[in-house]
Amino acid sequence: MTTSPLDAATFRRLAAQTLTYREVGQTAADVLPGGFHHVEISRSLGQGRELFESATERLMTWQMHERSGLAVRASSVDVQNDGVVVLGIRIGPLRLTAPCRVVYVLDEEARRGFAYGTLPGHPESGEEAFTIRPGADQQVTAIVRAFSRPASPLARIGGLASSSLQRRTTEAYLDALSD
């Protein structure tokens, strides 16, 4: 799979929409906001600067999402602040789409990553952050932090199944960075 470009009209429409939650940027805070389901998972990917760079490349070019089995349509081939992405997944006969906007990008020596927030039409409301860090011992760690709550009737009905899908997707993201 490769990232497909968003057409200009879809990009303009989504870029003009307001995020579906008020707690923008809170995945970077010490404590995630209340009133949401929280996910925070980290995994060691291995050691070395080369691994850090290759994992960062997979993350910042949407490859992590693609390797996780998601269809990706994005405003650019690499993650950019205020960029828009529409993720797609098939669950049996259902095809779900999840529009998001990048709310911050981290490009530092000691960590790289980004967070995106949900736009109208996403089954959930909230934010998800992806960070890759090299440790002092050259151990490379990937971290996924998220807060969300159901935003669509399907997600509300799904309840426990929605949480299970989110956890499986998070694990698939980490697997995709480990390759």
pLDDT digits (tens, 9 = 90+) for 119-134: 999 999 999 999 999 9
Please state, in angstroms and rounded to a whole number, the distance separating the CA atoms of residues 129 and 27: 6
- Domain span holding position 104: 4-178
Please state, in angstroms and rounded to a whole number, the distance separating the CA atoms of residues 134 and 54: 12
* DSSP secondary structure of 33-62: PTTSEEEEEEEEEEESHHHHHHHHHHHHTT
Rounded average pLDDT over 31-45: 95
Rounded average pLDDT over 106-129: 96
Q: Which residue has the tokens 């098939």?
A: 90
pLDDT at position 95? 84
pLDDT at position 145? 97
Phi, psi of 38 (to 5 degrees): -110, 145
pLDDT at position 157? 66
Question: Based on the structure, what is the number of domains in the chain?
Answer: 1
pLDDT at position 15? 95
Q: Which residue has the tokens 């405003």?
A: 75
Phi, psi of 34 (to 5 degrees): -75, 165
Q: Provide the pairing of β-strand 4-5 with 71-74.
A: parallel
**154: confidence class by pLDDT, cuts 50, 70, 90:** low
**1: confidence class by pLDDT, cuts 50, 70, 90:** low
**158: confidence class by pLDDT, cuts 50, 70, 90:** low
Helix 49-60, helix 160-178: angle, nearest 10: 130
Average pLDDT taken over every residue of the chain: 92
Please state, in angstroms and rounded to a whole number, the distance separating the CA atoms of residues 118 and 23: 11
The CATH number of the domain holding residue 123 is: 3.30.530.20
pLDDT at position 68? 94
Rg (CA), the chain: 16
